[in-house]
Structure 1
Amino acid sequence: MTFTQLEIFVLVAELGGFTAAAEKLGISQSAVSHALKQLEREWGVTLLSRNKAGIDLTEIGKPLLVRARELLGIAEAMRQEISAVRGLQRGVLRIGSFGPSSSLLLLPQILEQYRQQYPDIDIFVDEGPDDAVAQWIAERRVDVGFVVLPDERFDTQLLIEDCFVAVLPVGHRLARQTQLRIADLCDEPFIMTAAGAAAQIEPLFERAGLRPKIKHRYSQILTIIKMVEHGAGVSIISSLALSDQVMDLCPGVVKIPLTPVARRSVGLAVHNLAQASPAVLAFMKTARTLAAASRLGPTQRAPGSRRRS
């Protein structure tokens, strides 16, 4: 078993084919196929199954893919530590991000500062729903990711806290209220996010013993706001996701605080802080510094970190 074979295995699984993996690595497709066959022969297992739709991981291939990513991550961390000793700052950083909260507000500020300090770090970003980012961290597809806290599966670092707000058309009968209860929204057609924030919004109604009249589900924040603006219903959205730029696109919408206040915490997570590479640790430090200086988002508090038990 070699690290090259492991890298080929991971790339074929992630990209869904030998051709794509070969192009990524700059080698022939036959070389990719040969390396994978050698690995399967050495281990005595079949890692991938071929079908009309493409390539799927076998049952044994799924857990071995996680282990392969783990080994490659440790090897990358070692390379970066050696580079640091030699006075170099090179390496790879894979980041998982979700929606407007992190992708539009937090990540750009952190990356701007990070790239100034570490211009030779090769950065890759994947965006998906909250739960998908958490899954990528668990599977080692990304080195660090933005998550909603708490999350006991990972080592985490708090960056920012915000709260959920009601979103209504400006002409709505409740639009002039200074705050709204969950119960105030139950008689209205409700637009529920189809993204990860639904996992925090739905319990707000459940704890009040209420159920919203859900008429629409959308995964994009801008779609939700536009539908609210056109009178399709009301919604609840994280205040962090409603930046001034987003609100400027929908002048016919107002956001109103909820009572009691429904808070949400957003931070960074890694699978294992003890195994994190220098590039990951530097990224977390940059984010922590910006958060402590109150330069991340409209609502801040001093950052903290938590070590999972």
Structure 2
Amino acid sequence: MTLTQLEIFSLVAELRGFTLAAHRLGVSQSAVSHALKSLEQELGVELFRRHQSQVELSDIGEQLLLRARAMLGLANTLRQEAADARGLKSGTLRIGSFGPTSSIRLLPRILQHFRQAHPGIEVHIDEGPDRQVLQWLDERRIDIGFVVLPEERFDTFALMEDQMIALLPLDHPLASQVELSLKDLCSDPFVLTEAGSSELVSRLFNAARLSPNIRYRCSQLLSTLDTVSRGDAITLVAEGSLPIESNPQYVKRPLLPAVVRHIGLAVLDQRQASPATLAFIKLATALDYR
């Protein structure tokens, strides 16, 4: 068993195809097939179920994928620690990011400083909803992820806080109020942003035993803002996720009582984190995001 075989196994599982994995790796499809066949023969199990142009993991394949990713992560850490000992700065850092707060407000600034300090580190960024980032951490597909705190399953590091605010059309009757309660947001049509802090929004209403009148679901915040600006719905979002606009077509109102959202970084196990991951954490936690 080789690390190359494990890398091919992990990539085929991620992309669900031999051809896509071969293209990503810059090798022939036959080379990918041969590597996986050799790995299956050595392990004595079938890792994939083949269905014409697509493949899916077998039950034992699902189980072994987590082990393979753990081994690949440790191998990457080993390479980086050895490179540091030789005075080199090389390696790979895989980051998971969600929504505008981390992808637009936090990550670009951190990366600017990180690339200046560690130009030899190759950075890969995956973006998805906050729940997806947590799954990627569990599956070891990323080294570090931006998360909404607290997250007790991981080692976490606080970065910033903002608050949840209601967004209303300019001519909405509630726009005249200084603050709003969650109950105020339950009658009108509601648009829920699936990315970003959607999990937090759902938890807030559930904890208060309230049900917003969800009429729209948008995968992107900009679509949510457009829905509110047209007067079609109201919503609840994190203030830090909003773009800087000189003349927004909606009004912002804080909640009463206020709901603070904490954003931070998470790793599966700080003790096994690579030097690049630890350097990213050290740099990110030293910056001021106000």
Asked if Structure 1 and Structure 2 have the same fold, meaning a TM-score greater than 0.5 normalized by the shorter chain, the answer is yes
| 1:77 corresponding residue in structure 2 | 77
Task: Give yes or no for contact 2:148–2:261 (8 Å, CA) kept in 1.
Answer: yes
Instruction: Give 2:50's aligned amino acid.
Output: R
Instruction: Give 2:86's aligned amino acid.
Output: R
After alignment, is 104-113 or 201-210 more displaced? 201-210
| 1:187 corresponding residue in structure 2 | 187
**Residues in 1 aligned to 2:58 and 2:205: alpha-carbon distance in whole angstroms:** 41
| 2:21 corresponding residue in structure 1 | 21
Task: Give yes or no for contact 2:155–2:268 (8 Å, CA) kept in 1.
Answer: yes
| 1:303 corresponding residue in structure 2 | none
**Residues in 1 aligned to 2:273 and 2:203: alpha-carbon distance in whole angstroms:** 34
**Residues in 1 aligned to 2:71 and 2:209: alpha-carbon distance in whole angstroms:** 47
Question: 1:52 Cα deviation (Å)?
Answer: 3.3
Question: 1:196 Cα deviation (Å)?
Answer: 5.3
Instruction: Give 1:257's aligned amino acid.
Output: P
SS in 2 for 1:11: helix
Change (3 A) 1:15 1:205: closer
| 1:274 corresponding residue in structure 2 | 271
SS in 1 for 2:7: helix
Q: Deviations over 1:229-275 (max 9, x none)?
A: 1110111001111131xx44x62111111110111111111111111
**Residues in 2 aligned to 1:289 and 1:188: alpha-carbon distance in whole angstroms:** 42
TM-score, normalised to structure 2's length? 0.96
Question: 1:19 Cα deviation (Å)?
Answer: 2.2
Instruction: Give 2:134's aligned amino acid.
Output: A
Q: Deviations over 1:192-245 (max 9, x none)?
A: 22235232112323333332212111121111111111110111001111131x
CA RMSD, aligned part only?
1.4
**Residues in 1 aligned to 2:148 and 2:34: alpha-carbon distance in whole angstroms:** 42
| 2:11 corresponding residue in structure 1 | 11
**Residues in 1 aligned to 2:41 and 2:139: alpha-carbon distance in whole angstroms:** 24
| 2:255 corresponding residue in structure 1 | 258
Q: Which consecutive unaligned segments of at least 5 residues does structure 2 have?
A: none
Change (3 A) 1:189 1:26: closer
**Residues in 1 aligned to 2:201 and 2:148: alpha-carbon distance in whole angstroms:** 13
| 1:168 corresponding residue in structure 2 | 168
Instruction: Give 1:23's aligned amino acid.
Output: H
**Residues in 1 aligned to 2:256 and 2:276: alpha-carbon distance in whole angstroms:** 41
Q: May I ask how many residue pairs the two structures share in their alignment? A: 290
After alignment, is 189-198 or 112-121 more displaced? 189-198
Question: 1:5 Cα deviation (Å)?
Answer: 1.0
| 2:243 corresponding residue in structure 1 | 243
| 2:230 corresponding residue in structure 1 | 230
Counterpart check, 1:220 vs 2:217: no
**Residues in 1 aligned to 2:78 and 2:209: alpha-carbon distance in whole angstroms:** 52
Q: Which consecutive unaligned segments of at least 5 residues does structure 1 have?
A: 299-309
Q: Deviations over 1:85-113 (max 9, x none)?
A: 11100000111000111101111110011
Pairing partner for 1:287 from 279, 284, 289: 284
| 1:106 corresponding residue in structure 2 | 106
Alignment of 1:103-182 (within 5 A): 103-182=103-182
TM-score, normalised to structure 1's length? 0.90
Instruction: Give 1:272's aligned amino acid.
Output: D
SS in 2 for 1:60: helix
| 1:90 corresponding residue in structure 2 | 90
SS in 2 for 1:179: coil
After alignment, is 276-285 or 24-33 more displaced? 24-33
**Residues in 1 aligned to 2:20 and 2:214: alpha-carbon distance in whole angstroms:** 42
**Residues in 1 aligned to 2:196 and 2:286: alpha-carbon distance in whole angstroms:** 27
Question: 1:53 Cα deviation (Å)?
Answer: 5.2
**Residues in 2 aligned to 1:217 and 1:98: alpha-carbon distance in whole angstroms:** 17
After alignment, is 111-120 or 200-209 more displaced? 200-209
Question: 1:4 Cα deviation (Å)?
Answer: 1.2
Question: 1:158 Cα deviation (Å)?
Answer: 0.9
